[in-house]
Amino acid sequence: MRLDHIAYRVKDREKTTKFLEDCLGYKYAGTWDIDFGDGPPTKFNMLAPPEVRASEAGKWTYHALVYAPSVLDKRVNDENSAITAEFHAPPEIAVSD
pTM over 0.85: no
Instruction: Say how far apart CA 20 and CA 28 lie, in whole Å.
Output: 9
Please give the average per-residue pLDDT across 81-94, as a whole number: 70
Q: What pLDDT is attached to residue 34?
A: 87
Conformation bin of residue 87: beta by default, left when phi > 0, alpha when psi is -120 to 50:
beta
| Domain chopping of the chain, boundaries | 5-51+62-96
Query: Is the model more confident about 54 or about 30?
Result: 30
pLDDT tens, position by position, 34-86: 887 888 999 999 999 887 665 565 555 655 655 555 555 556 555 555 566 66
Instruction: Give yes or no for a contact between 65 and 81, defined as CB atoms under 8 angstroms apart.
Output: no
Q: What pLDDT is attached to residue 50?
A: 85
